[in-house]
Amino acid sequence: MDVIALTGGIAAGKSVVSARLAELGATVIDADLLAREAVAPGSPGLDAVRRRFGEAVLAADGSLDRPSLGALVFSDPAALSDLNAIVHPEVHRLYRERIAAIASADPSAIVIYDVPLLVEARSAEEFAAVVVVHAPADMRVERLVALRGMDRASALDRVAAQASDDDRLAVADVVINTSGTLAHTIQQVDALWERLVAQRARHTGVSDPLS
């Protein structure tokens, strides 16, 4: 069973692409949801975050206060690295569990791993192909300000904390360009899905499902 990695920088429009693929029939594993599970109340991951960053990153109910943690790590590369060292191994474990369950239930499933930090935390070689959702960094900053109400300094920090556009594009087998209209983005996703379905139907056994 091949797994296609779907990645892109913050505010690139990856959630739109992921949602459309799920609508078309893909089995989507969301790395962000796995990351939340990795630091859920009572988890070893949350305890490790508390010990590293202090009680200030916990909400009154004992859950993770994400805005407080984000304010600490996204302007401090060392702190972000420490957080990733806590969360990523647990996310990898949860990912392997999901893949095993999907393979058992439906070996012919087209699996999309929605993973924002592919370049930062994973190897592109782990996946049958990599789809990069792309919009230029300056456009993504503008989206964060206009659509998420973020101040410009925070938006710049968030974009800078991730891999560069060039680094992501370097590992891409397919690029979905989201700098245009929503309709154009959906057209690109639908075309990608047609290729994936056709490849599954051919059963050629080639290593690159997007060839």
**3-class secondary structure per residue, the chain:** CCEEEEEECCCCCHHHHHHHHHHHCCEEEEHHHHHHHHCCCCCHHHHHHHHHHCHHHECCCCCECHHHHHHHHCCCHHHHHHHHHHHHHHHHHHHHHHHHHHHHHCCCCCEEEECCCHHHHCCHHHCCEEEEEECCHHHHHHHHHHHHCCCHHHHHHHHHCCCCHHHHHHCCCEEEECCCCHHHHHHHHHHHHHHHHHHHHHCCCCCCCCC
pLDDT at 204: 47
Q: What is the mean pLDDT of the chain?
A: 92
pLDDT at 209: 60
101-105 mean pLDDT: 95
With 90 as the cut, is the pLDDT of residue 49 above it? yes
Q: Are residues 19 and 118 in the same domain?
A: yes
Residues 111/2, Cβ–Cβ less than 8 Å = yes
Q: Are residues 114 and 210 in the same domain?
A: yes
Domain of residue 63 covers: 35-109
pLDDT at 206: 46
132-155 mean pLDDT: 94
Q: Are residues 198 and 160 in the same domain?
A: yes
Residues 190/20, Cβ–Cβ less than 8 Å = yes
pLDDT at 20: 98
pLDDT at 74: 81
Q: Write out the two tokens for 97.
A: 């569990």
1 versus 110: the higher-pLDDT residue is 110
Q: Are residues 60 and 72 in the same domain?
A: yes
45-52 mean pLDDT: 95
Tens of pLDDT along 150-200? 999 989 988 998 999 999 999 999 999 999 999 999 999 999 999 999 988
Q: Are residues 82 and 133 in the same domain?
A: no
Q: Write out the two tokens for 101.
A: 């369950």
Buried b (16+ CB within 10 A) or exposed e, 60-94: eeeebbeeebbebbbbeeeebebbbebbbebbbeb
If 0-12 CB within 10 Å is exposed, 13-18 middle and 19+ buried, where does residue 114 land?
buried
CATH of the domain at 198: 3.40.50.300
pLDDT at 210: 66
Scanning the structure block, which residue is given the tokens 């891999």? 163
pLDDT at 202: 77
Q: What pTM did the predictor assign?
A: 0.84
134-139 mean pLDDT: 96
32-41 mean pLDDT: 94
Q: Write out the two tokens for 153.
A: 């300094």
With 70 as the cut, is the pLDDT of residue 203 above it? no
Q: Are residues 18 and 44 in the same domain?
A: no
When pLDDT is cut at 50, 70 and 90, the band that residue 121 belongs to is confident
Q: Are residues 97 and 149 in the same domain?
A: no
pLDDT at 205: 54
